[in-house]
Amino acid sequence: MSFPQYYHNAILCISERTGFSDSVLHIHAGLTILLIVHIVSRRSFATFIPFAFVVLAEGVNELLDYLAHGWRPTDTCLDIVNTLFWPFTISLVARVQPISKR
């Protein structure tokens, strides 16, 4: 079994055990990666560094999906939007909100 197929089977197992759809898993994965990188790197969301890691992780995920299943543009676009929407929104709000006086 190739690594992309093994990865796909692991995602299916997670989906079956949690009862979450693929879309919900993408939303949770994006937010989880954003928070973990924020905590580990101690970088503000406003730096967009935590968001960059979410983008990188989603790129790797979609590459593995492509290698396992081939090109599925509708599924890929939906996965990208679900994964990146809230992390991008959080990063953008952190970037544009005024810094409060201490």
| Residue 43: closest CA among 97, 82, 91 | 91
Contact between 82 and 27 under an 8 Å Cβ cutoff? The reply is yes
Lookup result for tokens 């089977």: 9
Neighbours of 51 (CB within 10 A): 25
Contact residues for 41 (Cβ-Cβ < 8 A; gap 6+):
49, 50
Residue 102 pLDDT exceeds 60: no
Q: Give the pLDDT score at 100.
A: 62
Residue 99 binned pLDDT confidence (cut-offs 50, 70, 90) = low
Residue 6 binned pLDDT confidence (cut-offs 50, 70, 90) = confident
- Segment 48-84, tens digit of pLDDT: 999 999 999 999 999 999 998 888 889 899 999 999 9
Q: Detail the DSSP E strand segments found in the chain.
A: none
- Segment 21-57, tens digit of pLDDT: 889 999 999 999 999 999 999 999 989 999 999 999 9
Q: Give the pLDDT score at 39.
A: 96
